[in-house]
Amino acid sequence: MARKKNALQDRVRLLLLQSAGAGKQAVPETFQGVTKGRIEAVLKAIDRATPDIVDSVFALLDDKNDSWFSNAPEEAKFCHGATTAHVGAHVGILQRKGSIKLDREGRDYWIKPLRELGAIEAIYLDPVSMTFYPGHIVAKSPNCAYRLENAFKRILQADEKEWPGMLKAWVREDMVRERAELQARIADESRQFLDTKHSDLIESACSHYVPRFLPGYAILYVDDGDGDRITKEDCVRLKDAGITISLSDAMPDVLLWNRDTNNLWVIEAVTSDGEVDEQKISNLWKFANAHGKMGIGFTTVYRTWRDTAARQGKYKNIAPGSYVWILEDPSKHFLAESFPLPPRTIASSNIRSTSV
């Protein structure tokens, strides 16, 4: 993963150097006829004008650079769809001429405020059809991306005398609600065209694995999408468990809590990557300790034995002291052990570790 991040940053730095070598500006004064000054003026009118948001909107107007997706549709430009990492690199390196991109977790500061108004749309690049679909249909996929909503783009491009009135109508509460409902409905309709196996696997883990193997554990938090990281309902459950989540916390697909033992449990559903590895265990133990929990357990979930073999045959990254559950063989799960046994793991006697 670190190599992928560095590769993106290296590629954007190269664009910067190539522009300098050719005596050109890496970033023009306008994209699609829109200056940063216009973006700032519009965002000030809706109380969203931070430097990061201004620059992120400017990035999402970029119709000069080709798409940074390797499998994008032919003729696709950056503005047709960009990941959080793409936007962060565009802002941090291409626009500001820095050495690194903006922090990905900053999306809650420079993407989410405009998503709440419908100014930025979530989309997904299907790698098979090479087509952008509405919605983050496959949760946590590297193909989840963003683009500007067309009506908001027209406001940015409008004449000086026209845009304030257009913005006033666009930002009305009923229009915001209508946009949100429309975007959600279109995203749901897009699911029929695409594989949603990651979300389905999370749902199966919650419906089948948790009741069988984790009696006494209640689900606090499920991350099966890429919208709000924490819902209002999540906040109530997390507060009851004495847990707060910050932007710096790398949270799992599913977080559970046992009120009687004050233990946490983590589930990671893997369809492409994201197993419970030793780094994840280390980070989440720090999280558990910081919240005064007595212990924390871990399970990696796969759909099939074939998927399990494909991943572990190559990476062998399941952490000792954690469990593996396979959906197609659901009556048992497997404890990974090493010698000597790892410290600070929840004893298998605390959960059901035999076939049921």
The mean pLDDT value for 68-82 works out to 94
DSSP 179-201: HHHHHHHHHHHHGGGS--HHHHH
Say whether pLDDT at 343 is over 60: no
Lateral strand order in the sheet of 333-335 = 217-222, 254-258, 263-269, 295-302, 323-326, 333-335
The helix-helix angle for 36-45 and 150-157 (nearest 10°) equals 110
163 membership: H or E segment, kind and range: helix 163-170
Q: How far apart are CA 173 and CA 2, in angstroms?
A: 41
* Phi-psi sector, 47: left (phi>0), alpha (psi -120 to 50), beta: left
Between β-strands 30-31 and 34-35, what pairing exists: parallel, antiparallel or unpaired? antiparallel
For the CA atoms of the chain, what is the radius of gyration? 23
Between β-strands 131-134 and 144-148, what pairing exists: parallel, antiparallel or unpaired? unpaired
Is residue 245 exposed (0-12), middle (13-18) or buried (19+ Cβ within 10 Å)? Answer: middle
pLDDT band per the 50, 70, 90 thresholds, residue 207:
very high
Asked whether the domain spanning 197-350 has the same topology as the one spanning 2-193, the reply is: no
Handedness of CA 210, 286, 111, 57 (dihedral sign): negative
Q: How far apart are CA 93 and CA 102, in angstroms?
A: 9
What pLDDT shows up at residue 3?
52
pLDDT band per the 50, 70, 90 thresholds, residue 353:
very low
The mean pLDDT value for 16-40 works out to 94
What pLDDT shows up at residue 167?
96
What pLDDT shows up at residue 105?
65
Write down the domain spans for the chain. 2-193, 197-350
Q: How far apart are CA 252 and CA 250, in angstroms?
A: 7
Is there a contact between 337 and 349 (Cβ–Cβ < 8 Å)?
no
**Tens-place pLDDT, residues 210-241:** 999 999 999 999 987 654 567 888 999 999 99
pLDDT band per the 50, 70, 90 thresholds, residue 258:
very high
SS3 153: helix
What pLDDT shows up at residue 217?
97
Superfamily of domain 197-350: BsuBI/PstI restriction endonuclease, C-terminal domain (3.40.1350.80)
Say whether pLDDT at 64 is over 50: yes
Say whether pLDDT at 163 is over 90: yes
Is there a contact between 86 and 125 (Cβ–Cβ < 8 Å)?
no
Is there a contact between 57 and 148 (Cβ–Cβ < 8 Å)?
yes
What pLDDT shows up at residue 316?
95
Say whether pLDDT at 318 is over 50: yes
Report the residue count for the chain.
356
User: In the numeric block, which tokens belong to residue 268?
Assistant: 């990671």
pLDDT above 90 as % of the chain: 63
What pLDDT shows up at residue 245?
86
Q: How far apart are CA 124 and CA 190, in angstroms?
A: 10
Say whether pLDDT at 352 is over 50: no
Q: Which letter does DSSP use for residue 137 in this model? A: -
Angle at 131 between CA 125 and CA 133, to 5 degrees: 65
Torsion of CA 221, 227, 233, 236, to 10 degrees: 70
Is there a contact between 81 and 69 (Cβ–Cβ < 8 Å)?
yes
What pLDDT shows up at residue 347?
44
CATH, domain range 2-193: 1.10.10
Q: How far apart are CA 45 and CA 48, in angstroms?
A: 8
**Bridge partners for 82 per DSSP:** 146
30 membership: H or E segment, kind and range: strand 30-31
299 membership: H or E segment, kind and range: strand 295-302
Phi, psi of 76 (to 5 degrees): -70, 140
Q: Residues near 331 by Cβ (< 8 Å), separated by ≥ 6?
A: 355, 356
Is there a contact between 34 and 157 (Cβ–Cβ < 8 Å)?
yes
